[in-house]
Copies of this chain bind each other. A is one copy, B any other.
């Protein structure tokens, strides 16, 4: 730990110039250095525990090997972890590292944070939002390569990735249909976001596809949390023609449905089957019986976002692409045949 060892120390120790060291370590193919010297230099470098200073090389190369990840409230949700891990893993594999920054809902703060990232010369930015339609990007981003995570721009001008909400709902509802249910209710969301419309659409698609009639009487909506879920489920389950299957907007809502069923003395899945959306371990695996649900692929989306970003940065320019990820069904114990 005497002196910080840099490229000159290696050069001195190996008896060559810094130029040669640099060539030996980086340009594997370059014929500017004798294979023997190269090998020697590498050995010496390893011996000394040489680690290049990335500030210096970033400065010289105009490439920091840093990616910015800016996000809004999404970091307060249980999904944040998976998304960020996906992004990180992908970045790591390609020699990049992530600078994570979150702004809550404050656009002023967000702009300052973006400027900070730019001062650190990030090579690109992953812009993660709670999925709303028509996100508009802050002007600060300028020409910096960017991709949207869990959101999309109205004009489709930059690449983005979101879950396929429609297909997710179809999968969920079809799980009920395949179990034999024909009177399937939905506990929907009142928020005007893509997930609401997409999942409702998927619900209708699945009914249609299997020759079941859509019945507005079987759909209610509320705030997508457990308390509201319990209330609207209570109401729905007390309608004269009680549904035997319930498609819930989210796992949290489904938890409310469990509570409602318990309050009414209905057993799951014998009396009523339930499926959710999200696959929140904390809830889906904890409920009793376990909740059958479709998983939102946050890890995979995080991965995709930085992979795409790095392709943009390192490769030739290509057209923006809007990606949709499908959501697999996770079967636990909340779906069974309908009572007769």
Contacts and interface: CB of A to CB of B under 8 A. Distances in A.
Name, among A80, A81, A101, A117, the residue most crowded by chain B CB atoms within 10 Å (CB to CB): A81
A98 interface: yes
A120 interface: yes
Interface stretch (A130-138, A179-187, A278-286): A278-286
Given A85-B76, A282-B280, A286-B252, A98 B100 contact: yes
B100 A88 contact: yes
A78 B262 contact: no
Interface string A81-98: 110110010001000011
Contacts of A58: 55
Interface in A1-57: 1, 51-56
A100 to B, nearest CB: 5
A73 B101 CA distance: 20
Contact of A84 (B100, B120, B252, B256): B100
Copy number in this complex? 2
Interface of A (DSSP majority class): helix
A64 interface: yes
A153 interface: no
A116 B102 contact: no
Name, among A54, A75, A76, A227, the residue most crowded by chain B CB atoms within 10 Å (CB to CB): A54
A230 interface: yes
A26 to B, nearest CB: 14
A120 B52 CA distance: 9
A55 B51 contact: no
Chain A: number of interface residues, binned into ranges: 35 or more
A52 to B, nearest CB: 6
Nearest to A68: B97
A255 interface: yes
A92 B51 CA distance: 28
Interface in A55-74: 55-56, 58-59, 64, 66
Interface of A: 1, 51-56, 58-59, 64, 66, 75-78, 80-82, 84-85, 88, 92, 97-102, 113, 115-121, 142-143, 225-227, 230, 252, 255-256, 259, 262, 280, 282-283, 285-288
Given A88-B101, A98-B99, A227-B286, 12 more contacts: A51-B119, A53-B121, A59-B59, A66-B99, A76-B81, A77-B81, A85-B102, A92-B113, A97-B101, A226-B287, A226-B288, A259-B288
22 contacts: A1-B143, A51-B115, A51-B119, A52-B119, A55-B55, A55-B58, A56-B59, A59-B59, A75-B81, A75-B84, A78-B81, A80-B80, A81-B81, A85-B102, A88-B101, A88-B102, A97-B116, A98-B99, A100-B100, A227-B285, A283-B283, A283-B286
